[in-house]
A = this chain, B = another copy of it.
Amino acid sequence: MVSTVGKLGRIQPPRCRQVATTSPADPGRLRPPRGMDRLDANPANSCPLTPLGFLERAAVVFGDCPSVVYHDTVFTWSQTHRRCLRLASALVSLGISRGDIKLTRTAVDRIEIVGAGPAMYEMHFGVPMSGAVLNTINTRLDARTVSVLLRHSGSKLVFVDPSCLPLIRDALKQLPPGHPPPRVIPVEDPHEKEFPAAPPGTLTYETLLETKGDPEFAWVRPASEWDPMVLNYTSGTTSAPKGVVHCHRGIFLITLDWLVEWSMPQRPTYLWTLPMFHANGWSFPWGMAVVGGTNVCLRRVNAGAVYATIASRGVTHLCCAPVVLNMLANAPEGVRRPLPGKVRVLTAGAPPPAAVLQRAETIGFEISHGYGLTETAGLAVSCTWKKDEWDTLPAPERARLKARQGVRTPGMADLDVIDGETGRSVPRDGSTMGEIVLRGGYVMLGYLNDGEATAAAIRDDGWFYTGDVGVMHPDGYVEIRDRSKDVIINAGENISSVEVESVLYGHPAVNEAAVVARPDELRGETPCAFVSLKEDAPGTVTAADVMSWCRERLPQYMVPRTVVFRAELPKTSTGKIQKYVLRNLARDMDSARKGDE
């Protein structure tokens, strides 16, 4: 069944601008006429869906408009188009080719820091336009992990941001003997003086484009819309990184879908605070080409830089992880700048705490909240706002509604919360927990070289299993309660750690909070809270204060039995709190207590 589906792609794409070799009226042609008995896909409607064509169109429609802005470097869409064609042709000239469609030998990895400079943007078009697969590597990983990824993806070529050259050299040293090392090409950043320039004669990103790039290159179109296009390793909050593969069709669909769902106007000014290596910036690298937006890049994402850039560039839209939203909302008065107008913010990755939402909206941000996974190429669920009904509610109620993950986006086919035992939908009661499942056009092809993990996530019942635990509200909106493994089972009662955390976030002195299970001989597990306090929190806050705050707002069994204060909570590079680190800490605590006893 699945293999039949796959055959869609094996047809050759129509050759462009070429004469028909057999005219329909040619009596000598062999193929039967189409028509009555052949109303089906045909050469004119079955060309593969791909987002790569958006760039060509942007060069026509928005040719003289700014495409990418970084310090005083400003490219136009016409220039970006030609630079991407140069990149694609240069990669082909280096021997990168479509090759093995199964991806094991075609991955072109690149590595660069958060949205720094135009090269990262260009690679989202240029690399797949060469027929290769783009793998953006998280720059905050350690050398050992990077070497594991390079080996796993079988990369042939790695573009490296100057700040990451030491990291990549370390990673290459850790490749097993006999593994062919990928070619390394440094990317320049003339705006960063602290990194040494590449020695003269080095083949760098810019010299590659200049010496080997052909701006008139006929880019390599996918043979099938199901051909792999991007590879992204999961950030590993819960387990070893897995290589998520998406195809041209999926990326095409999510790109259009989110422009619709976010009601994107033409020519927005889009600030990159979300790293492009985080699920390809939730499809917006390609989306900006559709609407002719300006991509504003930043190397260092801190509150001062973000506020200053919003003001100076007239930013209208940005996506960000919750940690950045938190940072913007809690920025001290002196760091903030007045916004030049309404700034629309899309956030996802963890439910934004009510207090953060309220503060951000007071500042003038218009927050949209969604949910997705690397496996869905970005966000697949959106807390679509019911303006007439919800705008008039009190702020805490609005924040509670907005913190929910929401409904499927228009382009996704289905979303549900199902009981793991029976596979049936849970009741729409807002309290019965089940696993969140999805299906639709931009669910991944699967995990690279990991058929078992793919089969565990994508099952024959047609659902992609997210591994997230949630509830279905009576109004059809889904709310995450937890990752499966983050649920705490206290004497048989399921506790959503997220629910406890949202109460902790409501405490005026709390900056960040995470709740994990602490093993308990009597009760199995008890909730253990790790908390960091705001810098300007008045007075002292004790564990007892925090517990009593929770006791007033939660059932007894959900109140943390342990509260640990930390200056900062451990996080992944994408700003998610690493619960497994805290879980280990909680387990060790317990061992210590057992030792005491």
Contacts and interface: CB of A to CB of B under 8 A. Distances in A.
A215 interface: no
A482 interface: no
A47 B446 contact: no
- Kindly state the interface size class of chain A when it binds its partner: 35 or more
A237 to B, nearest CB: 22
A444 B34 CA distance: 12
A226 to B, nearest CB: 5
Contact of A263 (B1, B60, B266, B441): B266
B462 A44 contact: yes
B260 A38 contact: no
A13 B425 CA distance: 18
Contacts of A439: 14, 43-45, 47
A422 interface: yes
Interface string A255-267: 0110110011111
Contact of A226 (B25, B40, B102, B388): B40
Main secondary structure of the interface of A (DSSP, over half): loop
A37 B102 contact: yes
B20 A11 contact: no
Interface stretch (A190-198, A325-333, A410-418): A410-418
A366 interface: no
Contacts of A461: 14-15, 18-21, 43
Contacts of A8: 4-5, 7-8, 41
Contacts of A408: 57
A34 B458 contact: yes
A11 B3 contact: no
A562 interface: no
B60 A476 contact: yes
Interface stretch (A449-457, A497-505, A551-559): A449-457
Interface string A402-437: 000001101101101010001111000000000000
B20 A460 contact: yes
Nearest to A48: B413
A203 to B, nearest CB: 31
Given A2-B46, A44-B458, 10 more contacts: A3-B38, A4-B10, A8-B41, A24-B452, A35-B454, A36-B104, A45-B250, A45-B440, A47-B414, A47-B440
Interface of A: 1-25, 31, 33-47, 49, 53-54, 57, 60-65, 102-104, 226, 228, 245, 250, 253, 256-257, 259-260, 263-267, 290-291, 384, 386-389, 407-408, 410-411, 413-414, 416, 418, 422-425, 438-456, 458-464, 475-477
16 contacts: A2-B42, A2-B43, A3-B38, A5-B7, A8-B8, A17-B418, A17-B424, A20-B461, A35-B452, A36-B450, A36-B451, A42-B443, A43-B462, A44-B439, A61-B476, A256-B257
